[in-house]
Amino acid sequence: MTATMPQAAVGASLSPAAVARIRADFPILQERPHGKPLIFLDSAASSQKPVQVIEAMDDYYRRYHANIHRGIYHISELATEAYEEARSAIARFIGSPCSAECIFVRNATEGINLVAYSWGRSNVRAGDVILLTEMEHHSNLVPWQMLAQEKGARLRFVPVTADGRLDMNRLDTLLDGARLFAFTAVSNTLGTINPVRELCLRARAAGAVSVVDACQAVPRMPVDVTQWQCDFAAFSSHKMLGPTGIGVLWGRKDLLDAMPPFLTGGGMINVVRYDRTTFADVPARFEAGTPAIAEAVGLGAAVAYLTAVGMERVARYEHELAALALEKLRGIGQVVVYGPGIEHRTGVISITVGDIHAHDLASILDREGICVRAGHHCNQPLMEKLGVPATTRASFYLYNTPDEIDALIAGLEKAKRIFKLT
Ligand SMILES: Cc1ncc(COP(=O)(O)O)c(C=O)c1O
C-alpha cells in the first residue's frame, strides 16, 4: 500500500481535524456535481473509497496480478498471500477465531443465499418455522421465502413497534419451533440497532440457528461475532470503504464443515473423477471458480483503514452526526422521521417531508450537490407497514461533517419553498 494510513483520532469520537484528514483520503470528495461541492449522504447504499483502497488494487494489477492457489511462480504466490491475508484481516476485524470461517462471496446477498441453499436445503423440513423480522432487506427475505416454498416451511416475522424497534416481548413465542432466525443487526431504513447478542442467545436457547445480516453493522460499529454468539453473519465490502464485487459470509466452523457446496466447479474440489467428486475443506469448498482477487486486496486495505481510524470512533462519530441531524430535522415543520430515538439508532435517517415525493426531494437535493437515497430501500413490506410508498434516506459515515448536515437542512427548506409547504 503506497498511501499513508490515517492517524488514529484523539479522544472518544473523531475530531474535526481527524475528519479533515480522513476527507483528504477520498478523491471523490473533490468532485463538484452541478458546480457544488459533493455532499455524499448515501453511504448506507455504498460508501466512497479512500485512496489507500484504490492504490492497493492498482498496485495488485500493476505488480502481482496472477491467479491464486495454482501458480507455482513468484507473483502467483504474492497474489495468494495477499488474498489470504485479506481473509485473516477480515477475521481479526470481526472477532472470528479462525480465518477459514470467512468465506469470500460476491456480496451480502450471495452470503445469505449460500446459507439458504446449502444449510437451508439440508436442514429445513416441511412444517419448520423460519423466523425473520418485519424490517428485513429483500436480500434477507426473498431467499427465505424461496426456501420456505420449496420445503413447505412456514415464515414468521418479529413485529416492528411504532417506534421502529423489534417487539422483543413476542420473541420467545415466535421462536417456538423455529429452525432458523435471520435478522438484520441494523435496519437500512430505520437506522435501528438491534440487540444482536440477545437475539442470537434466545435463538440458540430455542434450538434455532441465527443468521445475522451484518451489512449495515460491520461498516459502522465494532463487530465481534464471538461476542454476538451468532451462527452466520453476512456483509458486503462496498459499504465499508472496500470495492464492489466482494463480500463475506462468516459461519461457525462446525456448521460450515457439515454443509454441502453451493456453487461447484474449479477451486472447490479435492479429487475429481468422471463420475464423482470430493470437495475441498472450507473456505475453498465455498469459493468455486477464480475469486475476486483484486477486490479481496481492496477489502483488506479497507479493513486496515477502518482499523487505523478505530471502529469505536467511527461509531461514536456517526452517532453524533445522527444526533445533530435529528435535532435539526425536528426544527423543520412537516418532516416525519422514521425509526427510534437516538439511543437506539445509528446514522441512517429516513424521512418524508409533507407530501413531497421522495424522488422530487432527492432531485432537488441533487441540484445542491447532495446525494441521498429515495425509494423503498429494498424494504417494500416495511414501507407498506409504515404506510408510505417511499422515504428519503440520508446516511452518514466517517467522512461527513456537521456542515453537510446544515446543507441538507437548507436543501430541505428549499424543497419546502418550491412545493409551497409552510
Ligand atoms: C441491511 C442490508 N442487507 C443486505 C443488503 C444487500 O447488500 P448487497 O446488495 O451488497 O448484497 C443491504 C444493502 O443495501 C442492506 O442494507
Average pLDDT value for residue range 51-71 = 95
User: For 173-187, what is each residue's pLDDT tens digit?
Assistant: 999 999 999 999 999
User: For 114-131, what is each residue's pLDDT tens digit?
Assistant: 999 999 999 999 999 999
Ligand 1 pocket check for 109: Cβ under 6 Å: yes
Delimit the CATH 3.90.1150.10 region(s) of the chain.
Answer: 5-46+310-418
Which of the listed residues 216, 223, 248 should we mutate to test ligand 1's pocket, taking the one with most ligand atoms within 8 A of CB? 216
Q: Which atom of ligand 1 is nearest to the CA of 139?
A: 4
- Asked about 371 being catalytic, the answer comes back as no
Q: Is the Cα dihedral 410, 415, 418, 419 positive or negative?
A: negative
Going by CA atoms, what residue is nearest to atom 13 of ligand 1?
45
Nearest-angstrom CA–CA distance, 194 and 375: 23
Q: Can you give the pLDDT at residue 12?
A: 84
pLDDT of 11 strictly over 60: no
Please give the single-letter amino acid code of residue 296: A
What's the 215 CA to ligand 1 centre distance in angstroms? Answer: 6
User: For 76-119, what is each residue's pLDDT tens digit?
Assistant: 999 999 999 999 999 999 999 999 999 999 999 999 999 999 99
User: How many angstroms separate the Cα of 38 from the Cα of each of 121, 172, 283, 337, 369?
Assistant: 46, 47, 40, 24, 5
Confidence of residue 45 (pLDDT cuts 50, 70, 90): very high
The domain 5-46+310-418 is placed in CATH, from the list 1.10.3720.10, 3.90.1150.10, 3.30.2130.10, 3.40.50.1820, at 3.90.1150.10
Q: Can you give the pLDDT at residue 387?
A: 92
Nearest-angstrom CA–CA distance, 118 and 260: 6
Nearest-angstrom CA–CA distance, 370 and 373: 10
Q: Which three cell numbers stand for residue 324?
A: 445533530
pLDDT of 8 strictly over 70: no
Q: Can you give the pLDDT at residue 3?
A: 43
Q: Which atom of ligand 1 is nearest to the CA of 377?
A: 14
Confidence of residue 2 (pLDDT cuts 50, 70, 90): very low
Ligand 1 pocket check for 137: Cβ under 6 Å: yes
Going by CA atoms, what residue is nearest to atom 9 of ligand 1?
109
CATH number of this structure's domain 54-307: 3.40.640.10
Average pLDDT value for residue range 130-153 = 98
Delimit the CATH 3.40.640.10 region(s) of the chain.
Answer: 54-307
What's the 211 CA to ligand 1 centre distance in angstroms? Answer: 14
What's the 54 CA to ligand 1 centre distance in angstroms? Answer: 22
pLDDT of 274 strictly over 70: yes
Of all helices (H) and strands (E), which one includes residue 235?
Answer: strand 232-236
Q: What is the 3-state secondary structure (H, E, C) of 204-227?
A: HHCCCEEEEECCCCCCCCCCCHHH
User: How many angstroms separate the Cα of 170 from the Cα of each of 184, 199, 404?
Assistant: 17, 12, 40
pLDDT of 319 strictly over 50: yes
CB atoms within 10 A of CB 366: 16
